[in-house]
Amino acid sequence: MSSPPQLRQPCPPGACDCERERLLDSSGSDMRILLLTRNEEQRLLERLENLKSLDDLRHMQQRMYEQLGIRVEVAPGLNEVRSMRGIAITIAPLPGLCRKTRQAIPAAIRRGLERQPEIAYRLLDSHDLLGG
C-alpha cells in the first residue's frame, strides 16, 4: 500500500507570499508545486548548480515544468551582457511557489553558469549575440 505524497511544509505566517492556503482551498488547482519538499528543493538546486551544457539546462527547464509546473526562462538581458548578472532568469508566477525558492532557483542557475561559462556562451550564441 502506498502512502500519499509528502507535501511541502508551510512557511511561517507572514514570512512568505506563496499563497499556499489559497492553493489548498481551491479545488481542481495544480498542486504539483507542493510536492517540492525542502529536501527535494536542495536536490534541485544542487542539480542546477552542476549544469553540464545548454541542452542540460533546457532539459532541466522542461523537467521543472513537467514535474512541478515551474516555468523558468533563461535568456540574455535587455542590456549588455558583461557577466552572468546580465543574463535574465525569470520564473513565471505560480501559486504555492515559496518566495525563497523563487530566489534560489535563479541563483543556482547563475552559479551553474559561472562554473561552466561555455553554457552562457552557447546561450548567447543561440540568441545570435555572438553569431557572425
Mean pLDDT, residues 18-42: 86
Distance CA 75, CA 94 (A): 20
Domain membership flag for residue 65: yes
Residue 132 confidence (pLDDT): 47
pLDDT at 2: 64
Whether 6 is in a domain gets the answer no
**Average pLDDT for residues 3-18, to the nearest whole number?**
78
> Has residue 78 been placed in a domain?
yes
Out of 58-62, 84-88, 106-110, least confident range: 84-88
Comparing 126 with 84, which gets the higher pLDDT? Answer: 126
Q: What is the pLDDT, as a whole number, of residue 14?
A: 77
Domain of 60 in residue numbering reads as 20-126
What is the chain's alpha carbon radius of gyration, rounded to the nearest angstrom?
16
pLDDT at 44: 97
Find out whether 57 and 87 touch, Cβ atoms under 8 Å: no
Q: Is the predicted pLDDT of residue 130 greater than 60, yes or no?
A: no
For the chain, what is the mean pLDDT? 86
- The reply to whether 83 falls in a domain is yes
Please tell me whether residue 32 adopts helix, strand or coil conformation. helix
118 domain-assigned = yes
Count how many domains the chain has.
1
The arithmetic mean of pLDDT across residues 8-33, rounded, is 82
Is residue 3 included in any domain, yes or no? Answer: no
Mean pLDDT in residue range 10-35 = 82
pLDDT score of 129 more than 60: no
User: Can you say how many angstroms the Cα of residue 43 is from the centroid of all Cα atoms in its chain?
Assistant: 12
